[in-house]
A and B are shown apart, each in its own frame.
Chain A
Amino acid sequence: MSFQLTFDSLVNYDAGQPGITLDVSLRLTSDAVGCEAKVDTGSTFSIFGRKVGEDLGLNIEDGLKRTVSTVTGNFIVYLHEVTLIVAGFELDALVGFAADDSFRRHVLGRRGFLDQTVLGLVDYEGRLYLSRYTSEA
């Protein structure tokens, strides 16, 4: 038995980097803030550094405060609704911004990103295929 998926977008990423890294933009109103984020299927939400949120004009502490657990300890994030733009797809999502401004990682996680998309990965070739999920997919 074989299975077939079709995708609307192909992203070529650098397979030599430690992690599958994509260009991402976040938008709140008209201005967008760009950064690189790693696909992280083990992350509950997409999480970004505090500066990304501040550059968007957010008051970080106005969001929903939650604790994030990692293998090396916990840290605090504040969740805000933003528009994520990945490979040309716009996804309204709740994402976390780290309270600590020394946190510089950006990740695309499951809730708000993976749950709205169809994602295919060929790491051998450094290719990530992406579509926004629609019921026709």
Chain B
Amino acid sequence: MLQTIEAEIDINGVIRLLEPLRVTAPRRVLVTLLGENVTPENGAPASTPAFVQPLAITRESRRQEQMTWLKANAESYGGQYVALVGQQLISTGATFRATHEAAKAVGCPDAFVTYLPKPDEVLEMGGWL
């Protein structure tokens, strides 16, 4: 999915995003320079916040956010599959397939999909004990 957002680049090459942008994994980008300089007329007002937060949350912080969500929501969502991106619930379903397909349908093919057991659910182990 292609996404275009407005930004400014200064003479040092520092890019200042003028809109919030959140990605859930490292993504390739193309930077297209427009044929016009930034002026008071076409530039962002000085009061416009620069969205300089990291473009991608790291895999480890995402993992920690997902674990936090799983622990906090086992009561509400236990007994089914959930698809998460960080602490954001993307989809739920009765099977891995249904949940993953639903996440893909809303543009999150890399969402973490897992079965979330209920708090009192007893798991099974087969022939190896």
Residues of A within 8 A of B (CB): 19, 28-29, 38, 40-45, 47, 62-64, 66-72, 74-75, 77, 79-81, 92-94, 96, 105, 107, 109, 111-112, 115-116
Contacts and interface: CB of A to CB of B under 8 A. Distances in A.
Contact of A43 (B63, B95, B96, B126): B126
A33 B63 CA distance: 18
B124 A42 contact: yes
B110 to A, nearest CB: 9
Q: How large is the interface on B (under 10, 10 to 19, 20 to 34, 35 or more residues)?
A: 20 to 34
A12 to B, nearest CB: 21
Q: Is the interface of A mostly helix, strand, loop or mixed?
A: strand
A30 B126 CA distance: 31
Q: Is the interface of B mostly helix, strand, loop or mixed?
A: mixed
Contact of A107 (B97, B115, B128): B128
B31 interface: no
Contacts of A68: 122-125
Interface of B: 60, 63, 66-67, 70-71, 74, 95-97, 112, 114-117, 121-129
A81 B112 contact: yes
A40 B115 contact: no
Contact of B115 (A38, A92, A112): A112
16 contacts: A28-B63, A42-B126, A45-B115, A67-B122, A68-B124, A69-B123, A71-B129, A72-B129, A81-B70, A81-B112, A94-B115, A107-B128, A111-B96, A111-B114, A115-B95, A115-B96
Contacts of B129: 70-72, 75, 105
Given A40-B128, A64-B71, A111-B115, A81 B123 contact: no
Contacts of A42: 124-127
Given A94-B70, A94-B114, A116-B96, A81 B63 contact: yes
Contacts of B116: 94
A70 to B, nearest CB: 4
Contacts of B95: 115
A58 B117 CA distance: 20
B124 A66 contact: no
Contacts of B112: 81, 92
In the A-B complex, the 4 residue pairs with the smallest Cβ-Cβ separation, listed nearest first, are A42-B126, A115-B96, A70-B129, A44-B123
A107 B123 contact: no
A75 B129 CA distance: 10
